[in-house]
Amino acid sequence: MMRCSRVRRPQRLATVVSYLVLAMAINGCDSGQLSVSSPDSGVKVDGAPIVTSDSGLADGPTSTLDRGNAFDSGGSADGGSRTDSRVVTPPIALCGDGICASGESATSCNYDCPQRQIWRPAPGVAWQWQLSGQPNPSLAVKMFDIDLFTTTAAKITQLKANGRVVICYFSAGSWESDRPDSGDFPDKTLGSKMQGWPEYWIDIRSSAVRQVMEKRLDLAKTKGCDGVEPDNVDGYDNKNGFGLTKSHQLDYNIFLAKEAHKRGLSIGLKNDLGQIKQLEPYFDWALNEECVRYQECGELKPFIDAGKAVFHVEYKPMTVNEACSGVKGMHFDTLIKNLDLDAWRGTCS
């Protein structure tokens, strides 16, 4: 439909120290060697800093993955550099902390050491968004955004020739009757009908709904997609039939980002302008529809400030000149499209 988690777990200092003492005992170390300084000066073990966060949380957007470092096929950091008190090699490996530490691998901890490099584009990417008809593999663009279900794995392989990136679209917030997995949604998870579209909002709090989304992400990885564009992730801001709140949406959107990254998939935040500040650290890029028309393009600045691309679309009858002048100097990657998202595209010079 067009316009109409990483869950932070408390990782207390005492728990971290307990793990370290246990690890030292197993390795025959004297626990008397353990020395801890105040969090303000950095937690230390025998003189070596360990990983913690300013708030005592060792999870979330301060992880290696979420801070923008890419990983090579061996699971090591590829050129990422961090210089604050959290940028250190921990004495022991804790799977799930977002750091590919010594002793961890893609096999033992795929989240910390993903096998695939996650695409996190900077502004300035030529792209094509086409959800109807067959995309043209000879088009001179870096990224194709296409439909997950209607595009074959063979077509995705063809599109990825010469280093192109393929992003796969699916709706993460609505039920569509023509999708092959539509029968996997329990009736109780279907809410209000969307205005102007033959779709229904879904209950994003439901474990059954989340299982469907996990399978869709599995399908994206199996087909060879480099990333995903989950649509309709702003149900809380619409008449959804469930009374969804901002907190429900934040939790769900972070869940999607976490699950995508676990599979080595890039993920973009679609619209949801009201939660950009909270969600930007978890997402690799943004895709916005009609911010010029609704005079809200400034809301996307956190992504540009973070060095992440904003893929922006305006629809006809808005002209190319109108769309491009509306985002002049904002460093967006702008397209003008027909509403059915066919092959036609207009761009800013």
pLDDT in tens, 193-212: 999 999 999 999 999 999 99
Which pLDDT score, from 0 to 100, does residue 285 have? 98
pTM above 0.85, yes or no: no
95 and 133 share one domain: no
92 and 168 share one domain: no
CATH of the domain at 178: 3.20.20.70
187 and 251 share one domain: yes
Residue 121, domain member (yes or no): no
Domain count, the chain: 2
Residue 122, domain member (yes or no): no
96 and 203 share one domain: no
Query: Tokens 């005592």, residue?
Result: 56
Task: Please give the Cα distance from 101 to 89 (Å, whole number).
Answer: 7
Structural domain for 205, as ranges: 127-347
Residue 52, domain member (yes or no): yes
Query: Tokens 């792209």, residue?
Result: 127
DSSP type of residue 298: G
State the DSSP H helix or E strand holding residue 315, giving kind and residue range, or none if neither.
Answer: strand 310-315
- The pLDDT tens digits for 121-149 are 999 999 999 999 999 999 999 999 999 99
144 and 77 share one domain: no
Which pLDDT score, from 0 to 100, does residue 109 have? 77
Which pLDDT score, from 0 to 100, does residue 334 have? 98
170 and 26 share one domain: no
Which residues in 30-84 belong to E strands, given as ranges?
44-45, 48-49, 70-71, 77-78
Residue 245, domain member (yes or no): yes
Does the pLDDT of residue 33 top 80, yes or no?
no
Q: Which residue has the higher pLDDT, 195 or 17?
A: 195
158 and 283 share one domain: yes
Average pLDDT, the chain: 79
Which pLDDT score, from 0 to 100, does residue 310 have? 98
Which pLDDT score, from 0 to 100, does residue 166 have? 98
Residue 272, domain member (yes or no): yes
Domain end point (choices 64, 89, 116): 116
